[in-house]
Chains A and B, each alone.
Chain A
């Protein structure tokens, strides 16, 4: 049972280019979360998606960032016109259900290995 798969593991972009990060959740998981980790910092929530729906994007910068989780295929985090401050590790996580308090096996996120974006 493959875990959460992220690609690319490493991505280098020049300022102004676009970055696309992909995440395939664990089999059977329909909830995907994106987190950003800046150097020497913890993980910051960006967005939570279910298939074809953005549930919570309160952590997403208002401009240049977008995310999708189509009915078929991986979730994609897209960063347009990248700047040096976008350099970070981007982690995807999935869960089988909503992290509701009232379902069994709740509350655990399964993380991918992350995608490290470097903006030159």
Chain B
């Protein structure tokens, strides 16, 4: 069974600083996708970044980057130059072809950016 673990229920960061959110997962699959989704107070889930497991290069999207450690089954999200609009719940998620198209989500990390 696939599991996704986010061990940081809450985090805070000063505006313009950098913060890293942790995520670990457990799977026996070799090919899979990992995601970070953002859920602001408006509640709509928004894709932040995606990583294909077969790619060694860490994904980057502007101020967002990941540190993907496949052997350690770790997938952390780094937010640089934090902005007030980054305040949200962040969910790590996993899917693979062999999971029957299910996405497995972690329990989330609530990030607060402090002005």
Contact = CB atoms under 8 A, between A and B. Distances in A.
A110 B50 CA distance: 13
Contact of A114 (B31, B44, B95, B96): B44
Given A42-B105, A42-B106, A113 B100 contact: no
Contact of B107 (A42, A55, A99): A42
B33 interface: yes
A58 interface: yes
Interface residues of B, number: 28
Interface residues of A, number: 31
B31 A43 contact: no
Would you call the interface of chain A mostly helix, strand, loop, or mixed? loop
B22 to A, nearest CB: 14
Contacts of B44: 111-114
Contact of B102 (A31, A42, A56, A100): A56
Nearest to B99: A99
B24 to A, nearest CB: 14
Interface stretch (A15-23, A68-76, A77-85, A101-109): A101-109
A93 interface: yes
Nearest to A89: B43
Contacts of B91: 42-43
Contacts of B42: 113
A93 to B, nearest CB: 7
A48 to B, nearest CB: 5
A35 B105 CA distance: 10
Nearest to B110: A40
Interface string A48-72: 1000000110110000000000000
Nearest to B47: A108
A48 B101 contact: yes
B104 interface: yes
Nearest to B100: A56
Given A107-B50, A108-B50, A99 B95 contact: yes
Which 10 interchain pairs have the tightest Cβ spacing? A111-B45, A107-B33, A42-B105, A42-B107, A43-B105, A113-B44, A101-B97, A56-B100, A45-B102, A99-B101
